Amino acid sequence: MLVPETVVIAVYVMVDDFQRAELPPVARRGGQQPALSRSEVLTLGLLSQLACFPSERAFHRFAVAQWRHLFPRLPHRSQLNRAIRAQATALAAFGRCCARHLDALTAEYEVLDCTAVPLRASTRRGVGAMPEVAARGKSLRLGWFVGVRLLIAVTPSGVVRARWLALGADVLAPPQEESRERWPPAARAQHRRKRQIVETVFARLHGAFRLDRDRPRSLGGLWARLAAKIALSNALIRLNAEAGRPGLRLTGLVM
């Protein structure tokens, strides 16, 4: 899976428009100036989440070899990684911006669900990284894992929303097996059909954006990667919408 240069440029333009319109100006400091602009850092942070790059090292190696003409001041890998982590809040804001452009605020309904995000092998001993948030749990997809659970709200078109509860929501969930309440078969069937979109988004996050294969070592790194993956998903849906393609389609965006 590779990223056409036209898509890299399209993402950069989208990011640059966003940061000019919605982010405060970057404060000038004395001494040596950053090698990359904020728009360049955000663009690289988004594209680095694609599964064709199995690691941060692999992404940096590819960017040096193939995108040097697009990012001529590309710094050392460790410096780039620090710059991306420092922009975690901006990455999350960009994801929300894309959601607004896709009319997510007026969606008829949202599907709420969570997925396992492993942070280390479940068989490893010791405390490990991020003991303040990581715990051992069981997932239908992964089995036993050590990590966290990601809770997201998805619109019918696959856009990931934020702050659904703060906006006010009525949560509709099927009764538990031990409950005396029963839904009619038609209601259960309709609920299953509507849940398919969130399963599709989870498959995209895990498969195309390697959510289940990253192993961040700090809470800041975890937050930055989650923000970048969700923002990238919304951004690609936005590019598809502008081109008249199905929202969750990856063909034409990555090859």
* In contact, 47 and 20? CB cutoff 8 Å: no
Apex CA 91: angle with CA 3 and CA 56, to 5°? 50
Give the model's pLDDT for residue 169. Answer: 65
The CA distance from 99 to 238, in Å, is: 8
Give the model's pLDDT for residue 41. Answer: 97
Using CA atoms, how far residue 18 sits from 101, 160, 183, in Å, is 11, 18, 45
Give the model's pLDDT for residue 125. Answer: 76
| Helix or strand (DSSP H, E) at 70 | none
Give the model's pLDDT for residue 187. Answer: 80
Give the model's pLDDT for residue 164. Answer: 61
pLDDT > 80? residue 2: no
Q: Which residues pair with 146 in a beta bridge?
A: 120, 136
Query: In this predicted model, what pLDDT tens digit does every residue of 76-91 receive, in sequence order?
Result: 999 999 999 999 999 9
Quick one: 254 exposed, middle or buried, by C-beta within 10 A (0-12, 13-18, 19+)?
middle
The total of other beta-carbon atoms located within 10 Å of residue 85's CB is 20
The pLDDT mean for the chain works out to 89
Q: Which residues pair with 251 in a beta bridge?
A: 254
**More confident position, 45 or 166:** 45
Give the model's pLDDT for residue 167. Answer: 58
pLDDT band at 33 (very low <50, low <70, confident <90, very high): confident
Model's pTM, two decimal places?
A: 0.90
Residue found under tokens 């856009």: 159
Query: How many helical (H) and strand (E) elements, i.e. helices and strands, does the chain have?
Result: 7, 4
The total of other beta-carbon atoms located within 10 Å of residue 217's CB is 12
Query: In this predicted model, what pLDDT tens digit does every residue of 230-247 receive, in sequence order?
Result: 999 999 999 999 999 999
Quick one: 70 exposed, middle or buried, by C-beta within 10 A (0-12, 13-18, 19+)?
middle
Where along the chain do its domains lie?
A: 106-215
- The mean pLDDT of 152-166, rounded to a whole number, is 82
Query: In this predicted model, what pLDDT tens digit does every residue of 42-63 receive, in sequence order?
Result: 999 999 999 999 999 999 999 9
